[in-house]
């Protein structure tokens, strides 16, 4: 007999798909809907730079999940406008209502452009999703000289890619762009020491003063506040990676407890019955440290997606740390979840 439940998963990334697989396995009769802003299927964001550089083909980016179940519906390119957790209704921006019985929010994070960069947006490119990667792939191959702003984890992947492609780059590093943590001066020094021998020039916290078209590329003026010096740069392309923020606009003003992300307990449950959140859009209560903390990284997302789904089905599992919980940022090991008191050896192959 078919279940009357309609599970909705907001997000089609690693957390959402782990939740889907868990629900599918444990409640095969239920109806499941996945909603994603992006118009393409589940793919590996960490591999976008490999796709751009040509190390892998487009098809290798995509993770072909089995969606052949009659009762599983993938809604791509559909944006959640708001959620009414009391009525259990999701409002989509194209003006459609979806009723759910249980909801998992796994909407991940989105770029968080620095306000001061706003005026330069027409000149700035970024790689935040597949579409941008596909759009910019050719121009990256064609260009030789890059100016990279911000940094963040995706930005460092991008720098690595440029190095592997033999491109020249200047990185203007903004330590605060590394949500959910801030690079301290020691980390910055170690990153600089790692990248400069590879031909990457590092500038820290310099601000863009102007960007102008010049000879098919761009003339960029930057200001170093400490030295009060303006420097002129010529580059073929300017890319900006100014950090990420939880993708939860739809949850604001609807009664969810929100700090930076959606607040959930250690069981990944929000304050609403039957609504869970996981992955980088959630802030998870650490019962030991008594604080809400955010995790990033593919493995963390997958683990939490599975736990959220199991708890939604009636289990009572406490969120555990992912085995890989360190991100290797140019030799600097950064925890991607950090509330337990264990101190495992950092895994240099960490993901994000």
Partner 1 sequence: MNTFDIVIEICGSAGEGTISAGEILARFMSSQGYEIMSFDSYPAEIRGFGKCVAHTRVNLNPIYSPGKYADVLIALNDKHAISQLGFLKPDGILIYDNQPASFHEEDQSVAGMAEPGVTLYGIPLTQLAHEAAGNSRGRNMVSLGAMACLMEIPKDDFVTAIQNRYASKKQIIIDNNIDSFVLGYNWTGENIKKIDEYSFKGTEPAPPEDKLIINGNQSVARAAIDSNISFYAGYPITPATKIMEIMGKELPKTGGIMLQTEDEISAIGAVIGAGFGGKRAMTATSGPGFSLMTEFTGLAVMSEIPAVIVNSMRGGPCTGLPTKTEQSDFNIAVAGGHGDAPRIVLAPVDTTDCYEATALAFYLAEKYQTLVVLLLDFFLSNSIRNIDVPKPINPSFLSANIAPEPDQLNGYQRYRITGSGISPRTIPGTPDGMYFSTGLEHDENGRPAYDSDTHEKMTRKRFVKHGNALDEAPDVVISGDDGDLDIGVISWGSSAGAAREAVDAARAEGIKAASFSSIMISPFPEEKLKVFADRCNTLLVPELNFTGQFADFIINFLQRPVVKLNFVTGLPMASEDILEKMRELR
Q: What is the DSSP letter of 138?
A: H
CB of 157 to partner 1, least distance (A): 22
85 vs 261, beta carbon nearer partner 1? 85
25 vs 131, beta carbon nearer partner 1? 131
66 vs 349, beta carbon nearer partner 1? 66
CB of 278 to partner 1, least distance (A): 22
Kindly report whether the peptide bond that precedes residue 180 is cis, defined as omega within 30 degrees of 0: yes
Cβ-contact 32, 72 below 8 angstroms? yes
- CB crowding 329-341: b at 16 or more within 10 Å, else e: bbebebbbbbbee
CB of 255 to partner 1, least distance (A): 19
CB of 99 to partner 1, least distance (A): 6
Contact residue for partner 1 among 9, 10, 80, 98 (CB under 8 A): 98
CB of 1 to partner 1, least distance (A): 22
Which of the residues 199 through 228 are near partner 1 (CB under 8 A)?
Answer: none
- Please count the residues of this chain forming the interface with partner 1, following the rule CB under 8 A: 19
CB of 76 to partner 1, least distance (A): 4
39 vs 317, beta carbon nearer partner 1? 39
43/60 Cα distance (integer angstroms) = 9
Which of the residues 37 through 96 are near partner 1 (CB under 8 A)?
Answer: 39-41, 74-78, 91-96
Contact characters 125-164, partner 1, x per CB under 8 A? ------x---x-----------------------------
CB of 98 to partner 1, least distance (A): 5
98 vs 307, beta carbon nearer partner 1? 98
Which of the residues 4 through 43 are near partner 1 (CB under 8 A)?
Answer: 39-41
Q: Is 118 exposed, middle or buried (0-12, 13-18, 19+ CB in 10 A)?
A: exposed
96 vs 344, beta carbon nearer partner 1? 96
74 vs 263, beta carbon nearer partner 1? 74
104/113 Cα distance (integer angstroms) = 27
CB of 128 to partner 1, least distance (A): 12
121 vs 214, beta carbon nearer partner 1? 121
CB of 159 to partner 1, least distance (A): 26
Q: Is 21 exposed, middle or buried (0-12, 13-18, 19+ CB in 10 A)?
A: middle
Give the β-pairing of 168-173 and 145-150. parallel
Cβ-contact 106, 278 below 8 angstroms? yes
251/104 Cα distance (integer angstroms) = 12
The answer to the question of residue 99 lying near partner 1 (CB under 8 A) is yes
99 vs 119, beta carbon nearer partner 1? 99
- Residues near partner 1 (CB under 8 A) are 39-41, 74-78, 91-99, 131, 135
């Amino acid at each position: 007999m078919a279940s009357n439940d309609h599970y909705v998963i907001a997000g089609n990334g690693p957390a959402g798909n782990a939740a889907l697989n868990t629900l599918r396995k444990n409640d095969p009769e239920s109806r499941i809907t996945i909603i994603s802003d992006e118009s393409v299927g589940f793919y590996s964001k960490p591999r976008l730079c490999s796709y751009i550089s040509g190390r892998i083909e487009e098809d290798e980016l995509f993770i072909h999940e089995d969606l052949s179940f009659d009762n599983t519906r993938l809604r791509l390119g559909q944006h959640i406008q708001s959620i009414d957790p009391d009525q259990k209704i999701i409002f989509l921006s194209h003006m459609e209502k979806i009723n759910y019985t249980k909801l998992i929010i796994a909407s991940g994070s989105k770029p968080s452009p620095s306000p001061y960069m706003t005026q330069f947006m027409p000149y700035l490119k970024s790689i935040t999703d597949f579409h941008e990667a596909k759009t910019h792939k050719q121009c990256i191959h064609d260009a030789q000289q890059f100016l990279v702003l911000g940094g963040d984890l995706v930005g460092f992947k991008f720098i690595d890619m440029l190095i592997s492609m033999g491109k020249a780059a200047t990185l203007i590093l903004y330590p605060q762009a590394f949500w959910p943590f801030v690079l301290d001066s020691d980390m910055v020094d170690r990153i600089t020491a790692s990248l400069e021998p590879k031909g990457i020039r590092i500038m820290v916290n310099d601000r863009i003063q102007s960007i102008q078209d010049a000879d098919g590329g761009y003339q960029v003026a930057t200001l170093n506040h400490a030295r009060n010096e303006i420097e002129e740069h010529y580059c073929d392309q300017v890319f900006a990676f100014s950090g990420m923020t939880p993708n939860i606009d739809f949850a604001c003003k609807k009664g969810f407890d929100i700090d930076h992300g959606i607040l959930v307990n250690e069981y990944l449950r929000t304050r609403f019955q039957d609504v869970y959140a996981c992955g980088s859009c959630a802030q998870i209560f650490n019962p030991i440290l008594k604080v809400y903390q955010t995790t990033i990284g593919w493995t963390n997302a997958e683990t939490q997606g599975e736990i959220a789904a199991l708890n939604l089905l009636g289990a009572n599992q406490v969120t555990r740390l992912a085995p890989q919980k360190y991100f290797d940022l140019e030799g600097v090991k950064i925890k991607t979840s950090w509330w337990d008191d264990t101190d495992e050896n950092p895994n240099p192959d960490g993901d994000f």
